[in-house]
Amino acid sequence: MFEKIKNNFNTQTWVLIPIAIAINIAVGQIVLALKLPVYLDSIGTVLVAALCGPWAGALTGALSNIIWGIAIDPNALPWWPVAFMIGYMAGRMAQWGFFKSWWKVVVTGFVVAITAALVSTPIAVYLYGGITASGSSFITAYLMQTGSDMISAVFSTNFLVEPVDKITTAMLAFAIVLGMPKRMIGGYPKASQVETEGVQSTTQLYIAIGVVVLLVLFAAFMLRNILGG
Domain spans, the chain: 2-108+164-228
Burial of 3 (0-12, 13-18, 19+ CB in 10 A): exposed
| 8 A C-beta contact, residue 46 and residue 169 | yes
Rounded CA-CA distance 95/90 in Å is: 9
Q: What is the CA radius of gyration of the chain?
A: 17
What local confidence, expressed as pLDDT, does residue 140 receive?
66
Rounded CA-CA distance 100/109 in Å is: 13
Rounded CA-CA distance 192/4 in Å is: 16
| C-alpha 225, offset from chain centre | 24
Q: Going by C-beta distance under 8 Å and a sequence separation of 6 or more, which residues neighbour residue 78?
A: 69, 123, 127
From residue 209, how far is each of 123, 182, 214 by CA, in Å?
Answer: 32, 20, 9
Q: Going by C-beta distance under 8 Å and a sequence separation of 6 or more, which residues neighbour residue 200?
A: none
From residue 56, how far is each of 45, 60, 129, 227 by CA, in Å?
Answer: 8, 6, 32, 38
**Which CATH code fits 2-108+164-228?**
1.10.1760
| C-alpha 68, offset from chain centre | 15
Rounded CA-CA distance 31/168 in Å is: 13
Rounded CA-CA distance 170/213 in Å is: 13
- pTM attached to this predicted model: 0.87
pLDDT < 50 stretches in the chain? none
What local confidence, expressed as pLDDT, does residue 131 receive?
61
